[in-house]
Each structure stands twice: as C-alpha cells, then as structure tokens.
C-alpha cells in the first residue's frame, strides 16, 4: 500500500502525518510526503521568489519534518518514506498521481466537523476531494484519535465501493464496528426499498460480523443532510462519495 501525505507543515498537517505514519506502520505501507508550493508574483506579474529558492525552502522543511517523525516514532526501520515536491495548486499536483501509484491520500484540514460544509464545498480540501479519483482521508484539526467503532457511509443507493476502499476502511476500524449506511432522498416519490436492501446486503458481505444500519432522510441539499446525520450518529469516520470522488 502507498499513502500520499500532503503537508504544509501546519499543526493539522502534522496531526494527519502522525496518524498516517501509525497506520503505515501497522499495515506495512509506503509513505510519500508531499509539499506543494506556489511561486510568488507581484501585482505586475514579476517573480518575487524564484523557483530554485522556493524548492530549496520546501526541501528543507520536508527534511525537518522527517526528523520530527523519526524523533517521535522509534520503530521506523522498516517504514519506507519518500519526499516529493510540486508547484501550483495542491489539487492539481495530487491529480498528477494515478490510482495505480497511490492507494489513499491522508491529509489534515483546519476545519472541524462543525465546518463540514466548508470541508465538502468551500476549501482546498474540497478541491482535492473533487478532482482526484484516489480515496482521500480527511482528518479535522484536533481530532481525538481512537479506535474507530462507528462508521457512516453517505452513499448513493447504487454505490460501487472498491475492494481497496473496503480494506482501507476496515483497516481503520475495530472488529466490532457499527456501519451506518445513509442516503438522502429528494422526496418520498424516489423511495426504492429494493435498492435499499441490496445496498445493505452488499455491506453485510463487505463487513461480515458488523452491525449494519440503514439511515434515510429527505433533503435535496445533500451537504445539509450529511451534516444532520453526522449530528445524529456521531461517527468516528465518515465516508462520502460521488461519481467523481471518494473521501473518508
């Protein structure tokens, strides 16, 4: 397994990095630590910083972050960590990786779950989620890391989740987990009981032995509906997906 960790060296990025390192150690995964920077221009379009100087600063910060990781985790002998750099927007650089190269992106966000609408719609995180076909695991700032026992999947009724994604979610979770399958209908005319049962049966096969719940709401605003169910269920992990993206 290969994990891509974008970092800007902020507190929330370091929290996500530490989580990813722990996960990698447990799952014999390889880590790519990525820093993306933008060249600075004046209002007239003149370079304020040259690429070489920005690249050098980025590399220095990556090396310092590796030293921090090595100081915190004492069992890194078998962990493969690579450094990478990119220029431009984070979403564009991540999108240069293919799903064959990277299994999952783990990144932090400065928004807590009470800012879910901004995470999903109005942030750089949202751009990463929307512009890549690689699953993205987003960790809100100040997350209280604990064994994941309560998982919420916000899904379309015809959801196709890959075996890789199932394995990734399962790897984060306790054995006796509760799985909530959530779908928001626009109105009562769209109810499809058969598809609801088919979806539940799929997840019983994906996660044998887990308790599977089916949660439904009526709300045309999907993000608002997800916010409501998050308050109701209080999940340790939220999975959302559409045709263009996957995010955890």
Report pLDDT for 169.
Answer: 82
SS3 assignment, position 246: strand
Which one, of 197, 196, 182, lies nearest residue 238 by Cα?
A: 182
Burial of 108 (0-12, 13-18, 19+ CB in 10 A): buried
Q: Residues of 147-183 as b/e, b for ≥16 C-beta within 10 angstroms?
A: ebebbbbbbebebebeeebeebbeebbeeebbbbbbb
Encoding tokens for residue 38?
A: 């933008």
In our burial notation (b when 16+ CB lie closer than 10 A, e otherwise), range 126-141 reads bbbbbebebbbbbbbb
Q: What is the pTM of this model?
A: 0.77
Name residues whose C-beta falls within 8 Å of residue 162's C-beta, 6 or more positions apart in sequence: none
Give the integer Cα–Cα distance in Å for 95 and 45.
26
**Length of the chain measured in residues:** 248
Mean pLDDT in consecutive groups of 10 residues from the start of the chain, 248 residues: 92 91 87 86 55 83 93 80 91 88 88 53 71 83 75 80 80 85 86 90 90 89 83 85 45
Helix (H) / strand (E) element for 173: namely: strand 173-185
- For residue 108, the model assigns a pLDDT of 87
> Could you tell me the two tokens for 193?
């009981």
Task: Please say whether the beta carbons of 35 and 7 come within 8 A.
Answer: yes
Q: CA torsion, points 178, 106, 119, 111, in degrees to nearest 10?
A: 100
């Amino acid at each position: 397994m290969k994990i891509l960790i974008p970092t800007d060296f902020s507190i929330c990025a370091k929290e996500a990095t530490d989580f990813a390192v722990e996960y990698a150690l447990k799952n014999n995964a390889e880590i790519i630590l990525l820093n993306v920077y933008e060249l600075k221009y004046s209002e007239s379009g003149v370079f304020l910083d040259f690429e070489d100087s920005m690249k050098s600063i980025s590399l220095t910060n990556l090396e310092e972050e590796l030293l921090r990781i090595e100081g915190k985790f004492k069992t890194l002998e078998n962990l493969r960590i690579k450094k990478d750099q990119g220029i431009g927007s984070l979403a564009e650089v991540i999108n240069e990786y293919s799903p064959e190269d990277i299994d999952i992106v783990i990144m932090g966000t400065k928004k807590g779950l009470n800012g879910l609408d901004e995470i999903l719609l109005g942030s750089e995180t949202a751009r990463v989620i929307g512009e890549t076909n690689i699953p993205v695991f987003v960790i809100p700032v100040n997350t209280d890391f604990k064994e994941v026992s309560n998982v919420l999947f916000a899904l379309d009724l015809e959801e196709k989740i890959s075996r890789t994604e199932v394995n990734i979610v399962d790897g984060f979770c306790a054995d006796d987990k509760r799985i909530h399958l959530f779908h928001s209908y626009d109105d009562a005319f769209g109810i499809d009981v058969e598809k609801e049962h088919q979806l539940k049966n799929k997840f019983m096969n994906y996660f044998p032995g887990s308790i599977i719940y089916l949660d439904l709401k009526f709300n045309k605003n999907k993000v608002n509906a997800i916010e409501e169910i998050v308050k109701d269920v209080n999940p340790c992990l939220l999975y959302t997906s559409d045709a263009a993206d996957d995010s955890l």
